Amino acid sequence: MHRLMLDIRNFDNKVNQMVKKGQVPGMTHFSVGEEAANVGAIAAIGQQDFITSNHRGHGQSIAMEIDLNGMMAEIMGKATGTCKGKGGSMHIADLDNGNLGANGIVGGGMGMAIGAALTQKMKNTGKIVLCCFGDGACNEGTFHETLNLASIWKLPVIFYSINNFYGISTPIKNVINVDYNYQRASAYGIPGHFIEDGNDVVAVYEKVQEAVDYVRNGNGPVLVESLTYRWFGHSTSDPGKYRTKEEVDSWKKKDPIVKFRNYLVDNNLATAQELDELDVQSKAAVEDAVKFALSSPEPSYESAFEDVFAD
């Protein structure tokens, strides 16, 4: 889990630099600061299970152990990308590894998630779906529609709200009349779980594992909410002027990677030297991914007409 969080941090920091150099086309959203909320939750599901991601999906894709070379190539629009360079940052998918894909529509993964969950129930596969979305998606109509339908049909899906307190520049407290979104679960007769410290990867893992056990046993869906914080603006075009420097700095002091590093060292699970070496390895892997992407070919014009229809 520590290595995956390092990969998310190092990957996104590198992409941020590349955006500023004009090497990355399109819009990019970063998961820096939200590493524990992504890694802890995905570590709790099984390798056979599925996720749907959202437009801030870099962290979720890496937590699903996507190939960094293919992911970097995808972000740079290269033919060797995981989606052949057609999706870019906001549409990364890795179907072979259970990542059903991200999309740029707020709440867009929810309908996909319950469709996938219905498939698992009808085929009795025993697999579940983790549906990841931000706090801003909780006011979309599809949030209420899918929770309602999933609860009626007892679908094996965990609705997972990663609450970073802002829907772009709008504070979540200004647009809901409850304290937190997980409290809305009661309207659909399903459990709601709250992770107050979404920067604690162990706390995230343990709570989502509890939800996984409940859902996999055929009890229907669960709504889980974790509190975390994005260090950067909403996207590369957002300077984040709606937040004070003091607020951002206060959250940086709650760095999820530092928190877990201290946990591992304090509990004699790893040495500082071992963790430093992991960081070196992670940064090297990211640099290798950049080299791979830069040396990869652009998609051909003909490829624009491929993968349009199912065979």
Phi-psi region of 53 (alpha: psi -120 to 50; beta: other; left: phi over 0): beta
Helices (H) and strands (E) in the chain, counts: 10, 7
Q: In the chain, which ranges are continuous DSSP H helix? A: 2-20, 35-44, 58-63, 68-75, 108-123, 141-153, 201-214, 245-252, 256-266, 272-294
In the predicted model, is pLDDT for residue 158 greater than 90? yes
Angle at 233 (CA atoms; ends 206, 184), nearest 5 degrees: 45
pLDDT higher than 90, residue 303: yes
- The SS3 assignment for 153 reads helix
- At 236, which helix (H) or strand (E)? none
Q: Does 199 fall in a domain? A: yes
| Four-point Cα dihedral 13, 16, 21, 27, nearest 10 | 160
Residue 309 lies in a domain: no
Average pLDDT of the segment spanning 26-35: 94
| Band of residue 104 on the pLDDT scale cut at 50, 70, 90 | confident
Contact between 185 and 191 (Cβ < 8 Å): yes
What is the number of alpha carbons within 13 Å of residue 22 lying toward its C-beta? 0
CATH code: domain of residue 264: 3.40.50.970
Nearest residue to 99 via CA among 54, 61, 126, 48: 61
Nearest 5°: phi and psi at 206? -65, -40
- Does some domain include residue 176? yes
Give me the count of residues in the chain: 311
Residue 66 falls inside a structural domain: yes
- Cα separation, 207 vs 192, in Å, equals 11
Rounded Cα gap, residues 34 and 9, in angstroms: 9
Residue 17, pLDDT > 80, answer: yes
Note whether 87 and 95 are within 8 A (CB).
no
CA dist 155 to 113, 117, 168, 191, Å? Answer: 10, 6, 30, 13
- Picking from 68, 155, 45, 69, the residue whose alpha carbon sits closest to that of residue 110 is 155
Give me the domain span that covers residue 139: 2-15+45-300
At residue 310, the pLDDT reads 80
Chain centroid, CA 189 distance in Å: 26
pLDDT value at position 169? Answer: 95
Per-residue pLDDT reduced to its tens digit, 271-297? 999 999 999 999 999 999 999 999 999
How far apart, in whole angstroms, are the C-alpha atoms of residue 302 and residue 205? Answer: 44
211 domain-assigned: yes
Q: Is residue 262 part of a domain?
A: yes
> 145: which 2 tokens?
């529609």
Domain count, the chain: 1
- Residue 38 tokens read as 């992504």
pLDDT recorded at residue 103: 87
> 44-68, pLDDT tens digit by residue?
999 999 999 998 999 999 999 999 9
pTM above 0.85, yes or no: yes
Residue 26, in any domain of the structure: no
Assess if residue 310 is contained within a domain: no
